[in-house]
């Protein structure tokens, strides 16, 4: 048995594998993650342990998907974004560049879910430079403006304008800030 502590390595790093793909460059994934072959993963991106990236997902360059995440069909996540552990990003969601999504955030995509009925996922758009706190819930069909901040545990039920800070249940605007350039 190898003592990883003595070798200065961790189990997690030893389980990470590199993918050399001409179209998207080199990206990495943990051996326990599931990444669909019909997704596009940008150069320098990483998908951590026990995460599932579905088909037709587009991850930009240098995107980090934390452990135990679910990234639904057709989701797009822009360059330099970070998705924390335990996040659910369901179909219909587009996340911009340099977005921080805290641990255990959930993006919903259906306002009235019913078993056995046909439905289309509602589109949710998160613009660039947004920060979403731990455990926030984003209801479907909303737009979160550039540079907005959403507090931990907030339940977002309406569109958020650029630069605003929202907190609470339901989320309410607490500050109008500057929009990053």
Who's near 135: CB < 8 A, 6+ residues apart? 102, 103, 104, 105, 152, 153
pTM of the predicted model, to two decimals?
0.88
Assigned fold of 15-89:
UDP N-Acetylglucosamine Acyltransferase; domain 1 (2.160.10)
Encode burial over 36-57: b for 16+ CB neighbours within 10 A, e otherwise.
Answer: eeebebbebbbbbbebbbbeeb
* CB of 130 closer than 8 Å to CB of 147: yes
Residue pointed to by tokens 């340099």: 98
Which segments of the chain belong to CATH 2.160.10.10? 15-89, 120-181
Tens of pLDDT along 44-58? 999 999 999 999 999
Superfamily of domain 120-181: Hexapeptide repeat proteins (2.160.10.10)
Tens of pLDDT along 71-129? 999 999 999 999 999 999 999 999 999 999 999 999 999 998 888 888 889 999 999 99
In this structure, the number of other CB atoms found within 10 A of the CB of residue 80 comes to 20
* Helix ranges restricted to H, the chain: 4-7, 11-14
């Amino acid at each position: 048995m190898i003592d990883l502590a003595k070798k200065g390595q961790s189990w997690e790093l030893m389980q990470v594998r590199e993918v050399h793909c001409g179209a998207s460059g080199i990206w990495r994934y943990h051996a326990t993650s599931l990444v669909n072959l019909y997704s596009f993963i940008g150069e320098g991106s990483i998908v951590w342990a026990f995460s599932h990236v579905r088909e037709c997902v587009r991850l930009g360059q240098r995107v980090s998907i934390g452990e135990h995440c679910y990234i639904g069909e057709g989701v797009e996540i822009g360059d330099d974004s970070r998705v924390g552990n335990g996040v659910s990003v369901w179909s219909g969601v587009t996340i911009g560049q340099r977005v921080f999504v805290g641990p255990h955030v959930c993006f919903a995509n259906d306002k009235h879910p019913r078993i056995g009925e046909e439905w289309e996922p509602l589109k949710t758009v998160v613009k660039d430079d947004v920060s979403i706190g731990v455990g926030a819930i984003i209801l479907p069909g909303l737009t979160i403006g550039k540079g907005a901040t959403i507090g931990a545990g907030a339940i977002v039920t309406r569109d958020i304008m650029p630069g605003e800070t929202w907190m609470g249940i339901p989320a309410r605007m607490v500050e109008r800030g500057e929009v990053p350039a």
